[in-house]
Amino acid sequence: MATGHTVKAFDDDLGQLRALVAEMGGRAEQALADAVQALVRRDLDAAVRIVEDDKRIDELEVEVERHAIRLIALRAPMADDLRDVLAAMKIAGVIERMGDYAKNIAKRIPVLSDIKGIEPISILPAMARSVSDMVHAVLDAYARRDAAGAVRVAESDRTVDDFYNSIFRALLTHMMENPHTITASTHLLFIAKNLERIGDHATNVAEMVYYAATGHQMAERARGGDPLAAEEE
């Protein structure tokens, strides 16, 4: 049976694990904000730095995994505690992908030689802010095991999807009217899609946080709509 001593040791270990996940999340959030700023400012040095810094997020994911394995092997946590450890691993995996999307945005910056005339780019920073807010809020909900906060994050994915649909339509119209900007516009389309995907991933994390806090699945209506459905119109 678990003694007070081993419970304390487990809690300390889990706290370290959660701190590593929080550090990963903070880095991914920063990478996202930096990538969109670098895009708008056409800052190639920043773009290189973001790609480089993503390695640290990847390393942190490996650390989370090692820490989790050691924790399971040493402490043999049962039921809810084991679920907490595995949730930390899963959330770390999602954050690693968020970092990849931010890196992907940064990688497109040198390719985009001329985006001055493409108006839809003016909406991207606002979309990125919404996505950044989601990522920040979901990490906060994770740290505080806050189910209501997780629901709010999932609900705000609709705003991000609306942004995506607006940009998608605006870019398509722009491409039809200015066929010479098709290459640049296509890259911007992929960038908007990357932002939309980060929002989806934040929603996935929100669902995990909600489940961990309540033991129930989040209701369907809390989650954002499907941007593909809107693209059809």
Q: Could you list the residues that contact a second copy (CB under 8 A)?
A: 65, 68-69, 72-73, 76, 78-79, 82-83, 86, 89-90, 93, 104, 107-108, 110-111, 172, 175-176, 179-180, 182-183, 186-187, 189-190, 193, 226, 228, 231-232
Between 56 and 152, name the residue whose CB sits nearer to a second copy: 56
* CA neighbor of 215 nearest in space, from 64, 80, 24: 80
Fill in the amino acid letter for 49. R
Complex with a second copy: residue 122 or 183, whichever CB lies closer: 183
Q: Are 26 and 94 in contact (CB under 8 A)?
A: no
Start-end of H helices in the chain: 4-41, 44-75, 79-108, 124-144, 147-177, 182-214, 227-231
Minimum CB distance to a second copy smaller for 27 or for 108? 108
Nearest distance from residue 6's CB to a second copy, in Å?
14
Nearer to a second copy, 137 or 171 (CB): 171
CB of 223 to a second copy, least distance (A): 14
Tokens of 216: 């129930």
Residue with tokens 């820490």: 67
Please say which residue, 40 or 172, places its beta carbon nearer to a second copy. 172
133 vs 131: CA distance, rounded Å = 5
CB of 182 to a second copy, least distance (A): 5
> Of the two residues 144 and 231, which places its CB atom closer to a second copy in the complex?
231
Q: What distance in Å separates the CA atoms of residue 124 and residue 50, rounded to the nearest whole number? A: 18
For tokens 């904000």, the residue is 33
Nearer to a second copy, 137 or 202 (CB): 202
How far apart are alpha carbons 198 and 202 in whole angstroms?
Answer: 6
CA angle 103-105-110, nearest 5°?
100
Report the nearest approach of a second copy to the CB of residue 148 (Å): 24
We find the least distance from the C-beta atom of residue 227 to a second copy, in angstroms, to be 10
Q: Whole-number minimum distance, CB 186 to a second copy, in Å?
A: 6
For residue 77, give every residue at least 6 positions away whose Cβ sits within 8 Å of its Cβ, in sequence order, or none: 10, 71, 84, 85
Q: What is the nearest approach in angstroms of a second copy to the Cβ of residue 155?
A: 21
